[in-house]
Amino acid sequence: MKPLYLLYYIISFWFLTGFCCGTAFGQQPEKPRLTMVTVDTETGNDIVYWEQSPSVVDYYIIGMAVRPNPQEPYALIQVGTAPSSATSFENPNTNSDEVSIGYTVWAVVQQSPDSLFFSLYDEPDSTVFLQADFDSCRATISLVWNDYNNWRGEIMHYTVYQRLGNGLYVVLATLPEGVNNYTLSDVEENTTYGLFVEVAHNDNIRRSTSNRIDLFTDMSIIPDTINADYATLGPNNTVDLSFTIAPGSELQTYKLLRSVTPDGAFDTVVTLHTAEKTIQYQDEVSFTSGVYYYKLIAFNNCGKPVVTSNLASNILLGGDHQNQQISLSWNEYIDWYGGVDHYQVTRETGVNGTLLDSVSVGTEPFFRDDFSNRIDFNDPQSTRVCYQIRAYESSAADGSQNTSLSNRICFSLDPDVHMPNAFIPNSIDAVNNTFRPIFSFYPERYEMTIFNRSGLKIWEGTEPWDGRVNGKQVTEGVYLYHLKIFNFSDTARELTGSVTVVCQ
């Protein structure tokens, strides 16, 4: 209980009615009639009203009732005095915003410094105590209050008010006696609601107000935006993602969703709990297995989605080549707030000691490259070329610019191959005495296998065949070959055919 501003003393029930007020000490004054207790809506002070005692009195004592437990009588704490002409008293030192407060008033006659006579003690009249509970998930404020105790059976109605300003109130509901609760729905977040209840007596004159509750609908601040910074190629062929949460957000629960189409059904990849404003995540899906679209959704404390990011998508690069002409194409990077500023093609030529260059290709998702003028036919490594695409976001106002990197694809340009249809192993002039592939340029390496007409392998190697097996000349006739050409690629080009061995 808050400190009281006057000198306190406790007068117990038995003391008032038995000891102090006995006829041995003089004439007891008649009781004043307590008419109402109320709480001032603006100041929060308790006000007690009464009708003057019919007796001639010297002053009134205003008491606040305290009842430690139901088995004990009320104890009364003096909170002030009022002159004999008064009919009200305002108590600024109260805690009626925490509990219902009971008051009573006695008339006092003082015949001598040591002789006081009190009116009889009445059951106290109590303030209406209003309580509120804010449910941020349902956006409701639930109010509940106690009856005005001495008016039970004589209450005309309860009125629920919202305070809009000093002395400016709006009626939210009017409820009959027996209904001591009300729920305010669709409340606005991060707003102060001033609420109180007024109880009207059947005499349509007396009206008592409860304590006023100034309740702030404190909901977690949601971000204005969530920016999908990028989806890009990560280590081990993963999709790396980054999202930036707008400053000031108090949310900590997010879901990362993935779909194979921008407008299709999205599946939850992971639920994240973090207070970080930059969220990075590595999706273990194979980067080259398809084009994926991602978005991040923020959830409030009630588990409801409140903010969704723009989309982020990986760039899947594909291409082919024909006659040393390479064609590249890729899916467009979508949904950057600023759009795509340009794509850049990085080209890496060779295997060891590679040549690296790049070219900006605007915003079109394709590129044609004539590779013929960059091949050194004396260097097989020059026939290998790799490409990668990087998308650049249009620069933001702060100068920042996100990028997204595609997968890397490589081409090994295969040489044209001519296979002789006959050779003379024992040629006297040493012309056409071996069997070997003839390349337009020499590849990384090749493997050749020779079979007889029965399909039995008789020779294999990585060099020309001289028509011998285990040092002995084969007989004249038709033999089969299988050629595998390797040129810095994961796959080999394979050729099969026949060759005639001619003996002189």
Tens of pLDDT, residue by residue over 183-195, are 999 999 889 999 9
CATH of the domain at 492: 2.60.40
Predicted local distance difference test score (pLDDT) of residue 361:
94
**344: amino acid identity, one letter:** Q
Predicted local distance difference test score (pLDDT) of residue 144:
98
Predicted local distance difference test score (pLDDT) of residue 16:
41
Specify the DSSP element, H or E, that contains 18: none
Specify the DSSP element, H or E, that contains 96: none
Predicted local distance difference test score (pLDDT) of residue 68:
63
- Which of 216, 245, 276 is at the close of a domain? 216
- Determine how β-strand 168-175 pairs with β-strand 155-165: antiparallel
- Nearest to 212, CA basis, from 230, 190, 195, 191: 195
Predicted local distance difference test score (pLDDT) of residue 353:
65
**276: amino acid identity, one letter:** E
Question: Which residues, including other chains, have CB under 8 Å from residue 451's CB and lie 6 or more apart?
Answer: 457, 458, 479, 480, 481, 482
Predicted local distance difference test score (pLDDT) of residue 488:
81
The parts of the chain modelled with pLDDT lower than 70 are 1-26, 67-70, 112-113, 121, 353, 397
Predicted local distance difference test score (pLDDT) of residue 470:
92
Q: Are residues 182 and 283 both part of a single domain?
A: no
Q: 318 in a domain, yes or no? A: no
How many structural domains comprise the chain? 5
CATH of the domain at 40: 2.60.40.10
- Which of 77, 96, 126 is at the close of a domain? 126
Question: What whole-number distance in Å separates Cα of residue 101 and Cα of residue 87?
Answer: 19
Predicted local distance difference test score (pLDDT) of residue 414:
78
**Helix (H), strand (E), coil (C) string for 202-238:** CCCCCEEECCCEEEECCCCCCCCCEEEEEEEECHHHC
Question: What whole-number distance in Å separates Cα of residue 345 and Cα of residue 421?
Answer: 44
Predicted local distance difference test score (pLDDT) of residue 304:
87
Q: 2 in a domain, yes or no? A: no
Domain range for 113: 10-126
Question: What whole-number distance in Å separates Cα of residue 419 and Cα of residue 141?
Answer: 89
459-497 pLDDT, tens digit per residue, is 999 999 999 999 999 999 999 999 999 888 778 889 999
- Which of 411, 428, 460 is at the close of a domain? 411
- Nearest to 258, CA basis, from 244, 272, 270: 270
Question: What whole-number distance in Å separates Cα of residue 424 and Cα of residue 401?
Answer: 67
Q: Which two tokens stand for residue 272?
A: 């994240």
